[in-house]
Amino acid sequence: MTLGLACLVAVTLQRAAELLLASRNTTRLLACGGVEAAPGHYPLVGLLHACWLAGLWGLGWNQPVHLGWLALYALLQGFRIWILVTLGDRWTTRIIVLPAEKPIRRGPYRFFSHPNYAVVAGEIAVLPLVFGLPWFALVFSVLNGALLTIRIRAENRAWSDNLVGDDSKERDAKAGLRRL
């Protein structure tokens, strides 16, 4: 197996595992009274990522691997793990807020509001460069940027609206979390 093929297999398995984790966390959050915000754009998120990965499989599997870009991609994975560990059971691919809960403000979230989106933007740009596909990196970075504009606004709005909860909502949400 070539290094390029091994990279694509690893990324594909990682994304599949993350989708399973996100699904589990989403189910749990919704069962605890969580509310999904702006679900209308979510199919576009899935489509963008599926096309990005399929395109890399189609164009990159037999290309030489640029080790410098691969090292940068590996560094991004370290940040991804930090984000996943920081969010724990609250990490999901959807925008879900629990009534009266506050956004996480520890780990990488101490430094800026949306580190996960920064890592995803980096991955979408860097992985195609690993395979020498700068035009592919540019096209998907522009598409991802447009989608993130919608998503970040929706997420900020959802958190802003959520913080106007009363004590009974917060008490009910925390009780629901303890039951699971």
Give the tens place of pLDDT for each residue, 50-64.
999 999 999 999 999
> What is the reported pLDDT for 162?
78
Question: Residue 121 falls within a domain, yes or no?
Answer: yes
Question: Residue 130 falls within a domain, yes or no?
Answer: yes
Question: Residue 73 falls within a domain, yes or no?
Answer: yes
Question: Residue 34 falls within a domain, yes or no?
Answer: no
Question: Residue 140 falls within a domain, yes or no?
Answer: yes
Question: Residue 30 falls within a domain, yes or no?
Answer: no
**β-bridge mates for residue 172, sequence order:** none
> What is the reported pLDDT for 171?
47
pLDDT tens digits for range 108-137:
999 999 999 999 999 999 999 999 999 999
Residue 103 near residue 159 (C-beta atoms within 8 A): yes
pTM, 2 dp: 0.86
**Per the structure, how many domains does the chain have?**
1
What SS3 class is residue 66? Answer: coil
What region, left, alpha or beta, does residue 22 occupy, with left being phi > 0 and alpha being psi -120 to 50 degrees?
alpha
Question: Residue 44 falls within a domain, yes or no?
Answer: no
Residue 115 near residue 84 (C-beta atoms within 8 A): no
1-25 b/e with 16+ CB inside 10 Å = b?
eeebeebbeebeeeeeeeeeeeeeb
Question: Residue 69 falls within a domain, yes or no?
Answer: yes
> What is the reported pLDDT for 161?
84
Q: Which domain holds residue 178?
A: 65-180
> What is the reported pLDDT for 22?
97
DSSP string over 120-150: HHHHHHHHHHHTT-HHHHHHHHHHHHHHHHH
Query: How far apart (Å, rounded) are the C-alpha atoms in residues 142 and 118?
Result: 14
